[in-house]
Amino acid sequence: MNTGNRVVDEISKINFSGNVIPQNWFKHIRFDDNKPDTVAIILLADIIYWYRHTEIRDEISGLTIGYRKKFKADKLQKNYSAMAEQYGFTKRQVQDAMNRLKSKGIIIIELRTVTTTTGSRLGNVVFIEPVADVINKLTHPITPESDPSHVETGEAITFERETNTEITYTENTTNINNHNGATSRSALPYQKINDVDNSNTDIIHQVVTYYLSVYEKEFKEEHPKLKKAQWSRIRGVLSYFADDNMLDYDSFATMIDRHFERSMETDYNINHFATEGVLTNLFYEAAY
């Protein structure tokens, strides 16, 4: 690896592991005086580390053949004293921070009585579970630009090019098939495509069109109107993600289907779908 910068090259050789703290947590996990709740943020990052799966790789091929959780029980068992020692906090700091996370609905704390391998019974053992949809919203919050409730005079679900040429899907134009091979022409809305300086324009257009058709099928209504700047951001994110992960239309279609299959409450606006965190999760769930 040679980027032309010695320090960048050396740092890039270091294998970092452990906790990851999303920047948005410092904006949304705060005290009443609006200062970041740093202790709670650090402890939450530790909890999320334990809830991130570990890959199981085949020893011969090196391919990923499955995933497993890092902890033994159905929920993560934690000891406040051990957490305090690990991060240099007091036990009271840890306990108060955990209670703040609980009160905000970010984690669930359960006290159990457990039996040790020696037969001893221990009471008030702390088990912790993060609330996945809340963590997702804290990590990838809906901004005013992406929140459809803030769109006052949005454009129709069309992409405009300089020539304003409209591309209409009919029996005589491009057929877009879903990943099962079923043609979705009848469900596709009319679209105008915008010239974007990337090689994935056609694929991204198909992906967006398929997303809109699934949305309309699921909710029996058209997708909310978005502004031109929002469509530009969406196409840019999808194009970048396609390039970075070498995705084709079928892979995106699988991810879209998985997105709408989720039982958890989520934001099905395409603005939310076209964020790196959501796309990454769907990629590993459905297309990896």
Inter-CA distances, 81 with 196, 202, 210, Å: 55, 56, 51
Average predicted confidence (pLDDT) for the chain: 77
The DSSP bridge pattern shows strands 76-78 and 121-130 to be antiparallel
Q: What pLDDT, on the 0 to 100 scale, is given for residue 180?
A: 40
- Using the predicted structure, report yes or no on whether residue 194 has a pLDDT greater than 70: no
pLDDT above 90 coverage of the chain, percent = 32
What does DSSP assign to residue 25?
H
Residues 70-120: pLDDT tens digits? 888 999 999 999 999 999 999 999 999 999 999 999 999 999 998 888 888
Residues 5-62: pLDDT tens digits? 889 888 888 877 778 899 999 999 999 999 999 999 999 999 999 998 887 887 787 7
Q: Tell me the residue type at 92.
A: R
Distance in angstroms between the alpha carbons of the first and the last residue of the chain: 26
Token pair 């409209």 in the structure block, residue: 166
**Phi and psi of 122, rounded to 5°?**
-115, 130
Residues 119-135: pLDDT tens digits? 888 888 999 999 999 99
Q: What pLDDT, on the 0 to 100 scale, is given for residue 150?
A: 42
pTM of the model: 0.50
Q: What pLDDT, on the 0 to 100 scale, is given for residue 41?
A: 96
Q: What is the CA radius of gyration of the chain?
A: 23
Please give the domain boundaries of the chain with CATH numbers for all domains. Answer: 6-139 (1.10.10), 148-287 (no CATH)
Residues 208-235: pLDDT tens digits? 999 999 999 988 999 998 888 888 889 8
Q: Tell me the residue type at 255.
A: M
Q: In whole angstroms, what is the distance from residue 98 CA to residue 83 CA?
A: 11
3-14 CB burial, b ≥16 within 10 A, e <16: eeeeeeeeeeee
**Phi and psi of 225, rounded to 5°?**
-70, 145
Q: In whole angstroms, what is the distance from residue 44 CA to residue 160 CA?
A: 44
Q: What pLDDT, on the 0 to 100 scale, is given for residue 177?
A: 40
Nearest Cα to Cα of residue 40 among 89, 111, 7: 89
Q: What pLDDT, on the 0 to 100 scale, is given for residue 265?
A: 58
